Amino acid sequence: MKDRKAEPKFSRDVVRSLTPDFEHSSGKKVTLSPVAYTIASQYARDTNSPVMISGIMRIIEFLIVTIAGIAVFVFYVGPSASALLHYSLAILATATVTVLMLELTDSFQLAVMRDPFSKFGKLLLIWTGAFALMSLAAFFLKISEDYSRVWFGAWYISGLILFIAFRVIMSRLIRRWARNGRMERRAVIVGGGKPAEDLIRSIEQQPYNDIRICGVFDDRDAKRSPPVVAGYPKLGNISELIEFARIAQIDMLIVSLPITAEERVLSLLKKLWVLPVDIRLSAHNNHLQFRPRAYSYIGSVAMIDLFDKPINDWDSVAKRAFDIFFSLFGILVFSPIMIATAIAIKLESKGTVIFKQQRHGFNNEIIEVWKFRSMYTEMCDPTARNAVVKNDPRVTRVGRFIRKTSIDELPQFFNSLMGTLSLVGPRPHAIAAHTRNVLYNEVVDGYFARHRVKPGVTGWAQINGWRGEIDSDDKIKMRTEFDLYYIENWSLWFDLKILFLTPVRLLNTDNAY
């Protein structure tokens, strides 16, 4: 199975430009049918991403080559300081070449990982080739006499045994995960009828397929779209699909419509782009031919990429490591301020030091966000139905100061450490947050698209001045625009820039009450 990146994509701006009356999920609660809810609940647990598994295998196999070389060196040559540098360079170079050759020959693809015995000759050739290349390099550089031939031979054999043993163990784990649903990409077919049936049959025929089709959704009635397609039930319409995808943790939506049906495709994208999933347009029966690089593939079934899930796979690992490191650093640096704030709050008014509020998190899930309490306990507003305004009588004297300086947000370092928040991302809003008695999602097109990534302690909108009271439609619209820009342009460098600009921009307290 290969999933190659496509070149052309429908970006949010493209969809907007083609559809001025852009409208997304209304935010109203959608009730799933009992069958759809039962199926969605079965898929509610997390899965192991094939991309993550293959990445971990690259790291472990690099370590296998390295550790085998070092172990034989210590056992046979001895920990000689003079020889250590020469041998270490050779070991690291050979490990790098081995992994690169495995990568270039597609040896980390799912089919090879599931059945290493069918590719044993290929794997043996790659292993031998890597060591042969290093031997050849040592010969031409006239440094081969610096290394022990016994060490080199023992390293080749011991490393090969460990490499094959690891591949066998991983193949069994991968097959087990595939059987019990722990390693799969969950997909929903959007659109029914004969095109959807042909698509499903083609996907199911792909060998070593990691796609699990969870159902079919279509807005058309039973006359135009049968209730069962290729053995899969039609579980509801597109509005219900959004709720289903969130519960079932769907990874991919495959739109089974001809690319020429532009109006209907764009109509679907208006509703579906708010989900944190990959969206693909089936090119299975497409008569229009693009360049090969314009497609991604499920086996040999061609797809056109419309949207990609943001901050996915290894990007999410890097971002999580970023959050843990800087959260621990922030807790360490600001602990004196947090202790002093806690004492001040306790001395001024009765009640708890920490105020916990429910807000919207990643994928519209409800999360609990921590803040230092800034209001009198009896006047606290957990739903944020009534926004804090200038000289609000509900806010304590300490509360005014910590809100003005954003010290009240410091406990969210612990939220970030626990994983409910990220350090950088769209700020989470309270569930009942509104402006002029209208909920945010009713004011802003695509408001829920902010939730395609984990919310943050600070964000791009905040350092651009969009913080504090939201008392007009324009303010929440601008916040959302900046949040969507952040999602579409995310990188670790962008996060670092936002993080280090935050203290500087917080000096502007005009809108913080």
- Could you identify the residue written with the tokens 């597609």? 106
pLDDT at 132: 92
- Gap between the Cα atoms of 87 and 148, Å rounded: 10
Task: Name residue 241's amino acid.
Answer: L
Mean pLDDT, consecutive 10-residue stretches, the chain (513 aa), reads: 39 42 46 83 77 88 94 81 79 93 88 84 92 88 82 92 94 85 85 86 81 87 80 87 87 83 80 87 67 70 85 86 94 94 90 87 87 84 67 84 88 93 88 65 74 90 76 78 91 93 73 52
Phi, psi of 347 (to 5 degrees): -75, -30
- Sequence spans of domains, the chain: 12-47+184-307, 50-180, 314-505
Which strand (E) or helix (H) includes residue 323?
helix 314-348
How many other CB atoms sit within 10 Å of the CB of residue 225?
A: 17
- Gap between the Cα atoms of 342 and 357, Å rounded: 18
Helix ranges (H only) for 349-439 are 397-404, 412-418
Say yes or no: domain 12-47+184-307 is CATH 1.20.1600.10: no
pLDDT at 338: 94
To the nearest 10°, report the CA torsion of 170, 172, 111, 196. -120
Packing angle, helices 149-180 and 50-72, rounded to 10: 160
pLDDT at 117: 84
pLDDT at 210: 79
Phi, psi of 63 (to 5 degrees): -70, -35
